[in-house]
A = this chain, B = another copy of it.
Amino acid sequence: MENKPDKVVYMDHSATTAVHPKVLDAMLPYFSERFGNASSIYGLAREARRALDQSRQTLAEGIGAKPEEIIFTSGGTESDNLALKGVADALRSKGNHIITSAIEHHAILHVCEYLSKRGYEITYLPVDKHGIVDPDAVGRAITEGTVLVSIMHANNEVGTIEPIAEIGRICKERKVVFHSDGVQAVGKLPIKVDELGVDLYSISAHKFYGPKGVGALYVRRRTPLIPQAQGGSQERNRRAGTENTAGIVGLATAIAMAEERRDDYNRKVGALRDRLIAGIQERIPSVCLNGHPTRRLSNNVNFCFQYVEGESILLNLDLMGVAASSGSACTSASLEPSHVLLAMGVQPEIAHGSVRLTLGYDNTEQEVDYVLSILPEIIERLRSMSPLYSKAGAAAGGGNG
C-alpha cells in the first residue's frame, strides 16, 4: 500500500466541485465593486443588470435556448421544486397525474411525495438492471389526466444516461409537459433543449465548477408555470428575490467553460474512468459495476463490494486521503440503502456495499493508480471482519484486526 498523498485525492465530483479559478475571477468584481441591485436605475445597477443579461445570454446559448426562457434559482433543488410544483399548480384544472422514475434525485422524489399528499397521483416508472427508463413505458403511463413527465437526464449515483430525446418525442406527441433534471449532465452531455425535446430543464452550478447556491431552470416559452417564490418582480415575475449577481456570473462563466472543454473533458475523464473500472475489476473479487456499461457519464464509477458496508469503505478511503461517497451526498445522513440500486434490482445487503467514485478534470492517472493500490487491501481487511464473508464461504475466516 502506498503512502497517503499530500493532497486529498478528490473523487466525489458528482457531489460538488471546487469553483474553477477562472470562474471565481469572473465573480469577484460583483461582490464589492459592481455590487448594485440589478433592479435599480442608476449606473451601478446598470452594471449588474448588464452582467445578468450577459449571463442569461451565455447560459441560453449553451443549451440552445432563448434568454427569456431562463430563470435563475438558488440551485438544482429549487429548480426541481419550481418545475414540478410550478407546472402541477398551473395545470391543476387539467389533471393531477405526474410521471417520474424510481431513480430520480430526492429533489424530485420528495417533491412528488409532497404533491401526492396534496392530491396528485404519481407514477414511479421502474428501470432495468442498468438503471434505464423505457421510453415506451412513459407512453403507456400517460393518461388523460397526466400533466407532467419528469425524467432525469443522467443519474447522480450510477451515471446512467436516460433516453431523454425519445421520451421528449413521446411527450410532445402526447402533448404532455416534459421536465428533465439535468443537474449531472451539464459539461458531460450535449444539451440542446430542442434536440432533447424538454420543456423544462434543471441546472446547478456547483456540479460543473461553478459556485454553490445558484442554479437555473430552463422553461420553454408558453409552458404553464406558477411561480413558487412571491415578492419583487425579478426574473420577469417568475422568481422573486434580489438577484445573486456574483453567483449568476459564476454559473454563466462555468457553463461556457464546461461547454468549451466538454469533448476534452469526456476524453480525459472517460479514460481515467475506464482505467479505474478495469483496475477494480481486475484486482478485487466479488465486485459488481453499477449502472450501464456504456451509456454512462464519463466521470462515474460505482461499484458494489460484496460482504462489506459502504461507509466503512469510505472511512478507510478517507483515512488514506481519498474522498468518495456512497450514493448521493444528501442522503448520507440516512441509513437506507440507495433507492437507485434497489430500483435496479440490487439486493439490500449488496446495495449497502456501494461506493461511488466520481472523477473530475483535475484527477490524474497517478491518483487513479493510488486508489487502485489501496482499495484491494481496504476491502480485504473489511471482508476479513465481516460475518457475511466467512458465512459466504468465499474465503478463509478473519484474522485478528
Contact = CB atoms under 8 A, between A and B. Distances in A.
B19 A24 contact: no
A19 B35 contact: yes
Interface size bucket, A side?
35 or more
A229 B81 contact: yes
Given A213-B244, A243-B212, A36 B111 contact: no
A90 B74 CA distance: 24
A111 B230 contact: yes
Interface string A238-266: 00111111110000000000000000000
Contact of A43 (B8, B19, B32, B242): B8
A74 to B, nearest CB: 3
A23 to B, nearest CB: 8
Contacts of A329: 37, 39-40, 45, 232, 242
A45 B233 contact: no
Nearest to A79: B241
A234 interface: yes
Given A41-B315, A45-B323, A212 B110 contact: no
B41 A105 contact: no
A105 B232 CA distance: 8
A142 interface: no
A26 to B, nearest CB: 12
Interface string A203-234: 01010000111100000000000001111111
B231 A110 contact: yes
List 3 tightest A-B contacts by C-beta distance, closest first: A232-B330, A213-B244, A74-B74
